[in-house]
Amino acid sequence: MGCNQKHSKRSITIRCTGLVLRKIFIIDIDGCICEHVDNEHPELMLSAQPYPDSVGKINQWYDQGHFICFFTARTEEHREATLTWLEKHGVKYHQLILGKPRRREGDEYHYIDDTPIRATRYKGVFGDMVKKTKDVMVFEDE
């Protein structure tokens, strides 16, 4: 099976007989694709303002064949409002997971998996992905 690489200024795509390696994006909702709404104010979820650039980038990734999963601290009680909001704003996705543990001030999420992962902190802009070297926490044996 022959593979070739397509290089651009911002990314490398490896194609093997037409197959493009896809990414699995796991994305929070509140504060990432729309204004942040706390679970204590579910009446605001349907009217939360979308972040158009975020929605546009997520839809682009979806159209490129990447897998989009929303992982949110919203609860099962918020499922209908969340699904309605996503549909209303034309957000494309494959999966919605509710019930992410809620983070308190000073807490941080730390994801551990047996497969390669990347973590990106959302800081107001969904742009193109670029590769940068950062300090990360790893197990002592690595």
Q: What would the DSSP string read from start to end of 35-87?
A: ----TT-GGGTTTPPB-HHHHHHHHHHHHTT-EEEEE-S--GGGHHHHHHHHH
CATH number of the domain where residue 85 is located: 3.40.50.1000
Residue 11 in domain: no
Please tell me the predicted confidence (pLDDT) of residue 91. Answer: 98
Q: How confident is the model at residue 142 (pLDDT cuts 50, 70, 90)?
A: low
In the chain, how long is the greatest CA-to-CA distance? 54
pLDDT (tens digit, 9 = 90+) per residue, 70-101?
999 999 999 999 999 999 999 999 999 999 99
How many Å apart are CA 122 and CA 27, to the nearest integer? 9
Of 78, 59, 135, 71, which is closest to residue 102 (Cα–Cα)?
71
pLDDT (tens digit, 9 = 90+) per residue, 40-55?
999 999 999 999 999 9
Which domain range does residue 50 map to?
Answer: 22-126
For the ranges 12-16, 26-30, 97-101, the lowest mean pLDDT is seen at 12-16
Containing 104, the helix (H) or strand (E) segment is: none
Residue 142 in domain: no
Q: How confident is the model at residue 59 (pLDDT cuts 50, 70, 90)?
A: very high
Residue 108 in domain: yes
> The pTM is what?
0.76
Domain count, the chain: 1
Please tell me the predicted confidence (pLDDT) of residue 20. Answer: 59
Q: What's the token pair of residue 83? A: 């699904």
Residue 4 in domain: no
Residue 90 in domain: yes
Residue 136 in domain: no
Residue 54 in domain: yes
The three-class DSSP label of residue 34 is strand
Q: What's the token pair of residue 134? A: 């950062």
How many Cβ atoms are within 10 Å of 88's Cβ, its own excluded? 11
Mean predicted lDDT score pLDDT of the chain: 83
Residue 45 in domain: yes
Please tell me the predicted confidence (pLDDT) of residue 112. Answer: 77
